[in-house]
Chain A
């Protein structure tokens, strides 16, 4: 049985009267690609932010990489990587400078940084772009770079919030190849998405509607359970009377 790297019980987040995340519970195992599938506004990002130590839960509990989300946020951050929904590399810095910055932020020494930087650039086939300003890169490249940087300190878990928003299908494909590679190396990937087809790529998917977990299983089993041909169909059945989202 795989080790549990994320464990969440009754996690809730309220903003005033509004309950964004309502009593969710689940576990994530080491090495899997765990998907959070749901419409925009369903609560995926809010939930993820609690797991990353960006936001305090209103109630409930959770552990990420063995640390408590309520009290040990700063410890969690040492063991995770994160790629925000909004692009979060520095536009006026070059590719190389961004890598050096984030490597340094995670405490990597100059030598280690240099080595990993070379590896990263080679893997992405970016070596020629080291001195290009990030704002000059096309969106797909920026996303890939952000993902690579999210993993530069070899974290146990990488959180990806809607990582493939706005890119073309080919780039999306390449991105998922990167995700597979990382998972094969032992990194657990926690990804949120509203693209139904991406759900098929995950080891297990949880479907979030109106802040609640409506289903949680492997894509194959979910399709069997709901007698559906695609995840799209599964989702539509579950989200039929959803209050939030498009």
Chain B
């Protein structure tokens, strides 16, 4: 017991005295939680639309004012110069050009009018397609008011939409659980590995290896500080989510704690396992960057896992963050119960056990 206690004590002293790490551990989660939710929006807003109005009729003016009033669209001038508009599109100041053809209003009343032309800059494919959608819907609504037979179905008045769990469609609320996971991955997944590789590079690890210290004791002493830090990070993140963004867990806080604990255990165990195979800072840096990158991209932050192709979905089954994202998002936003998440918990629990055992077992005192 005594070797373990002194080792653990040494880790905490080292951490305290480090010139960089304590500041990082405190500032990074706070800064990310305060700033990132404002930035990580993938929704489409403020689509810059220019209308090239060749009709100059009441209808076309109505279309323009509807576009102006739209919350998703942003009217950037209406011009008669198509070329000017095109230039704006290429430069990026304009996202979509809407061209209302000559005699549109007149033709509408009589027969099939010439088509309204929508040209979108689709470099950002989502912006292009969603933006176009919004434009189409906006124009359609404008024409409904016009009361023309050819205009869209009255049925749209009798479909109601109920948005559950996030009625205001608050984007930060959706992203915050994923951001929290990223913070955990960075703090508890990256830093423990650095701790071991640093000892390897400096040489202090040799003094440990030549002593009778048991590798389980040593590994545990390296892990525990980061478990503590991880938990502290969780509290900070939840507090900021609550008071700054108004995000309160819909489900049980204990389930969140349990899930986070399992995840931190998993990711730090993984981190140390990787460190046991690296001898230099550069190596571990790259190896961890590689895995962390995959974890972050494939955890459902940018894309829902359901939207991925089958092979990718199967692949995510191997990634611990996938399960934790499910758990955290479900409990935070939908109030899902632990019983409904039993599969994810079992998976995460298994990972935690496996990686921690690996971390201890792959540590070699004698080569």
Residue ranges of A at the interface with B (Cβ–Cβ < 8 Å): 52-56, 73-74, 77-78, 80, 82, 84, 86-93, 97, 100-109, 133
Asked if B211 lies at the interface with its beta carbon under 8 angstroms from chain A, I say yes
Q: Is the CB of B2 within 8 A of A104?
A: yes
Chain B residues whose CB sits within 8 angstroms of the CB of A52 once the complex forms: 210
- Of B138-146, B200-208, B336-344, which stretch is located at the interface? B200-208
Question: Complex formed: what's the CA distance from A55 to B367 in Å?
Answer: 5
Question: Complex formed: what's the CA distance from A23 to B366 in Å?
Answer: 20
The A contact surface, by secondary structure, is loop
Contact status of A73 and B366, CB under 8 A, knowing A89-B204, A102-B211, A107-B3: yes
Q: How far is the CB of A24 from chain B (nearest CB, A)?
A: 19
Chain B residues whose CB sits within 8 angstroms of the CB of A103 once the complex forms: 6
Chain A residues whose CB sits within 8 angstroms of the CB of B6 once the complex forms: 100-101, 103-105
Q: How far is the CB of A134 from chain B (nearest CB, A)?
A: 11
- Of B11-19, B123-131, B234-242, B301-309, which stretch is located at the interface? B11-19
Question: Complex formed: what's the CA distance from A100 to B10 in Å?
Answer: 10
Question: Complex formed: what's the CA distance from A80 to B207 in Å?
Answer: 12
Question: Complex formed: what's the CA distance from A97 to B7 in Å?
Answer: 11
Contact status of A54 and B10, CB under 8 A, knowing A73-B366, A92-B17, A109-B2: no
Chain B residues whose CB sits within 8 angstroms of the CB of A55 once the complex forms: 366-367
Question: Complex formed: what's the CA distance from A45 to B2 in Å?
Answer: 30
Question: Complex formed: what's the CA distance from A103 to B365 in Å?
Answer: 19
Asked if B213 lies at the interface with its beta carbon under 8 angstroms from chain A, I say yes
What would 21 A/B residue contacts be, using CB atoms closer than 8 Å? A53-B210, A55-B366, A56-B366, A74-B212, A77-B211, A84-B203, A86-B202, A87-B203, A90-B204, A92-B18, A93-B13, A93-B14, A100-B6, A101-B7, A103-B6, A104-B3, A104-B7, A106-B3, A107-B212, A109-B2, A133-B17
Contact status of A89 and B207, CB under 8 A, knowing A97-B13, A100-B6: yes
Residue ranges of B at the interface with A (Cβ–Cβ < 8 Å): 2-3, 5-7, 9-10, 13-14, 17-18, 202-204, 206-213, 365-367
Q: Is the CB of A105 within 8 A of B211?
A: yes
Q: How far is the CB of A85 from chain B (nearest CB, A)?
A: 8
Q: Is the CB of B212 within 8 A of A54?
A: no
The 6 A-B residue pairs whose C-beta atoms are closest, nearest first, are A104-B6, A86-B203, A88-B207, A82-B210, A92-B17, A77-B212
Q: How far is the CB of B281 from chain A (nearest CB, A)?
A: 16
Question: Complex formed: what's the CA distance from A53 to B9 in Å?
Answer: 26
Question: Complex formed: what's the CA distance from A128 to B7 in Å?
Answer: 25
Q: Is the CB of A105 within 8 A of B3?
A: yes
Q: Which of B14, B17, B213, B367 makes the CB contact (< 8 A) with A54?
A: B367
Question: Complex formed: what's the CA distance from A52 to B211 in Å?
Answer: 9
Question: Complex formed: what's the CA distance from A80 to B206 in Å?
Answer: 14
Q: Is the CB of B211 within 8 A of A101?
A: no
Question: Complex formed: what's the CA distance from A22 to B181 in Å?
Answer: 53
Contact status of A101 and B210, CB under 8 A, knowing A88-B204, A89-B204: no
Chain B residues whose CB sits within 8 angstroms of the CB of A89 once the complex forms: 204, 207
Contact status of A56 and B10, CB under 8 A, knowing A92-B17, A102-B211: no
Q: Which of B2, B5, B206, B211 makes the CB contact (< 8 A) with A86?
A: B206
Minimal Cβ-Cβ distance residue in B for A85: B203
Q: Is the CB of B203 within 8 A of A88?
A: yes
Question: Complex formed: what's the CA distance from A54 to B203 in Å?
Answer: 13
Chain A residues whose CB sits within 8 angstroms of the CB of B206 once the complex forms: 54, 82, 84, 86, 88
Q: Is the CB of A101 within 8 A of B366?
A: no
Q: How far is the CB of B215 from chain A (nearest CB, A)?
A: 10
Q: How far is the CB of B62 from chain A (nearest CB, A)?
A: 72
Question: Complex formed: what's the CA distance from A55 to B364 in Å?
Answer: 10
Chain A residues whose CB sits within 8 angstroms of the CB of B204 once the complex forms: 88-90
Q: How far is the CB of B355 from chain A (nearest CB, A)?
A: 25
Chain A residues whose CB sits within 8 angstroms of the CB of B367 once the complex forms: 54-56
Q: Is the CB of A101 within 8 A of B10?
A: yes
Known: A84-B206, A93-B10, A105-B212. 7 other contacts (CB 8 A): A74-B365, A86-B202, A89-B207, A90-B10, A90-B204, A92-B14, A133-B17
Q: Is the CB of B213 within 8 A of A105?
A: yes
Chain B residues whose CB sits within 8 angstroms of the CB of A80 once the complex forms: 210
